[in-house]
Homo-oligomer: A and B are copies of this chain.
Amino acid sequence: MLNVAVIGPGLVGEALIEMILNYSKSSNNSDLPISLIAVTNSSKMLVNPSSKPDNLNDWKAALQSESVPADMDKFVSLILEHGPADKTVLVDCTSNERIASSYPAWLEKGFNVVTPNKKAFSSDISLWNKIKEAANNCSSKPLIMHEATVGAGLPVLSTLNNLVISGDRIDKIEGILSGTLSFLFCEFSNGSASGKSFSDIVKVAKANGFTEPDPRDDLSGLDVARKAIILARLSGASVELSDLALENIVPEELRSASTVTEFMDRLPEFDSHFNSLNQAAFEKGEVLRYVASVDLTTSTYSVSLKSFPKAHAFASLSSGDNILSFTTKYFSNPLTIMGAGAGSEVTAFGIFSDILHVARVKQ
Interface positions of A (Cβ within 8 A of B):
19, 22-23, 26, 29, 31-32, 136, 141, 153-155, 158-159, 162-163, 165-168, 311, 313, 316, 318, 320-321, 330-340, 345-346, 349, 352-353, 356-357, 360-361
Contact = CB atoms under 8 A, between A and B. Distances in A.
A339 B334 contact: yes
A141 B31 contact: yes
Nearest to A167: B22
Pick the 8 closest A-B CB pairs, nearest first: A335-B339, A162-B353, A166-B352, A155-B155, A155-B159, A336-B338, A318-B333, A22-B167
Given A29-B165, A163-B349, A313-B316, 6 more contacts: A23-B165, A162-B356, A316-B316, A318-B333, A335-B340, A360-B360
Contacts of A162: 155, 349, 352-353, 356
Nearest to A355: B166
A320 B360 CA distance: 35
Contacts of A356: 162, 165-166
25 contacts: A23-B166, A29-B165, A31-B136, A153-B331, A153-B335, A154-B335, A155-B155, A158-B158, A162-B349, A162-B352, A166-B352, A166-B353, A320-B333, A330-B346, A331-B339, A331-B340, A332-B340, A335-B340, A336-B337, A336-B338, A336-B339, A337-B337, A357-B360, A360-B360, A361-B361
The count of identical subunits is 2
Contacts of A336: 336-339
A345 B330 contact: yes
Contacts of A311: 316
B19 A166 contact: yes
A318 B346 CA distance: 28
Contacts of A346: 330-331
Contacts of A136: 31
A22 B164 CA distance: 12
A174 to B, nearest CB: 14
Contacts of A352: 162, 166
A167 to B, nearest CB: 5
Contacts of A22: 167
A333 B320 CA distance: 10
A346 B334 CA distance: 12
B349 A330 contact: yes
A289 to B, nearest CB: 15
Contacts of A318: 333
A167 B26 contact: yes
Nearest to A353: B162
Q: Which of A23, A153, A166, A356 has the most CB of B within 10 A?
A: A166
Nearest to A32: B165
A114 to B, nearest CB: 13
Contacts of A330: 153, 340, 345-346, 349
A134 B282 CA distance: 60
Contacts of A29: 165
A166 B311 CA distance: 35
A315 to B, nearest CB: 9
Contact of A167 (B19, B165, B168, B361): B19
A166 B351 CA distance: 10
Contact of A339 (B32, B155, B333, B353): B333
Nearest to A163: B349
A313 B311 CA distance: 10
